[in-house]
Amino acid sequence: MNASGVPLVEVVLESQHPPPPSFKIGMDDDWMVEWRRCKDDDPEWPVIQSEVSTAPFPFLLKTREGWYLEPDPLHSLARRLIAPTVSLLILTLLVHSMEPSLVKIGFLSEAIAGSYRIGPLDYPKMLLVAFPIFLLPIVSRMVANLRDIRRQNAYIESPLESPVISLVNERNGVRIDKMRMPLEIMANRARIQVGIAVPERSKVLEALTRKEGRQPAPGMSTQLPERRITTGEELGTGVGEAIPMPVAHQRVLLLEPMRVQEAGEWVDIGGSEVSHRLKGPENLWPGSIYSAVIAIHWELVIQAIRDDGTRMKWVRPLKMPSREGLEEISKMAVRSGRIELSD
């Protein structure tokens, strides 16, 4: 969460493939990614062997290509309810601890003060009202997860075909010349977005001269055993439960946002046969580049609605050409990796 609390990882990346043009995103005292050529006065940094490519790596194609379900809106509602419901519960307990004095000075009515005896225990009257409200976020999460699981299972039973789309790359975006969606779904809007994929766990440990099984690197959790589902758990950068809950399937059906991500404006593409131009973010980003340490990933995102009302996204990786002489991007767009906050 705090960039100054994490050491800067600096390595020399050796590859048989040509490097991309130099670029820098972010500032030295904040979150930052930089790719440049070595200089004569550089210190002795660890040397990392890695493939450098303009084509997405398999793990990105597995987690960021195809149809995805939108998380249930109750997840966002539950998140917004956490702060007020917890505050209400704390305030109720505080008022209950001072009940005798508040009743004596007339600030609190005797009708709402005191307790109800249920069995061998006494329960404060106000707590019987505040506690069910406190449980609203938990109940909302449970209902939303059940809906998500039901919709994921329904999609597994009846999957969609990929749309047919013809794209032409432009300076800072793409042009959709042709698009044919499956009959049972209708596209609403589209945009392109770019971000930085999480580095490979093994390469980060190698750069920090650490070994797997010992103290993990700053910002990483201990590697989890057996099968993992979410990208954050797999790379050791996600801590806590996976919400919304994914079902066991060969492909993740809930799209996780990239931890560093910027997007262009949404463009309405519903019910129109003309070509559409999708612009990238305002900041001019580097073209597509993939390595074990730094990976700049571009993708097309189309929002659509299925005939049964299910809100979905279709994601397709884009191959953007390299760009020379890019200006530095002063602020890195760091964001949460939680699925319910993807938009």
Range of lowest pLDDT (147-156, 222-231, 301-310)? 222-231
pLDDT at 247: 79
pLDDT of the residue at 295: 92
Highest mean pLDDT among 35-49, 82-96, 226-240, 293-307: 293-307
pLDDT class of 230 with cuts at 50, 70, 90: very low
How much of the chain exceeds pLDDT 70, in percent? 92
pLDDT in tens, 40-61: 888 888 888 888 998 888 878 8
pLDDT at 238 over 60: no
b (16+ CB within 10 A) / e for 197-211: bbbbbebbbbbbeee
Mean pLDDT of 157-168: 91
Say what the pLDDT of residue 130 is.
Answer: 87
With beta carbons less than 8 A apart as the criterion, state whether 89 and 257 touch: no
Tell me what pLDDT residue 289 has: 93
Q: Is the pLDDT of residue 299 over 90?
A: yes
Q: Could you give the CA distance from residue 209 to residue 44 in angstroms, rounded to a whole number?
A: 13
Higher pLDDT, 132 or 218: 132
Distance CA 305, CA 181 (A): 11
293-332 per-residue burial string, b: 16 or more CB within 10 A, e: under 16 = bbbbbbbbbbbbebeeeeebbbbbbbebebeeebeebeeb
Mean pLDDT, range 3-24, rounded to an integer: 87
Mean pLDDT along residues 301-323: 92
Instruction: Round the average pLDDT of the chain to a whole number and report it.
Output: 84
Q: Is 39 exposed, middle or buried (0-12, 13-18, 19+ CB in 10 A)?
A: exposed
Lowest mean pLDDT among 45-49, 83-87, 140-144, 251-255: 251-255
The pair of structure tokens assigned to 246 is 């994914």
Please report which confidence band the pLDDT of residue 275 belongs to, taking 50, 70 and 90 as the band edges: confident
Do 210 and 217 contact (CB within 8 A), yes or no? Answer: yes
- Measured CA to CA, the distance from residue 206 to residue 223 in angstroms comes to 15
Please state at what angle helix 136-157 crosses helix 125-134, rounded to 10 degrees.
Answer: 30
Residue 232's pLDDT band (boundaries 50, 70, 90)?
Answer: very low
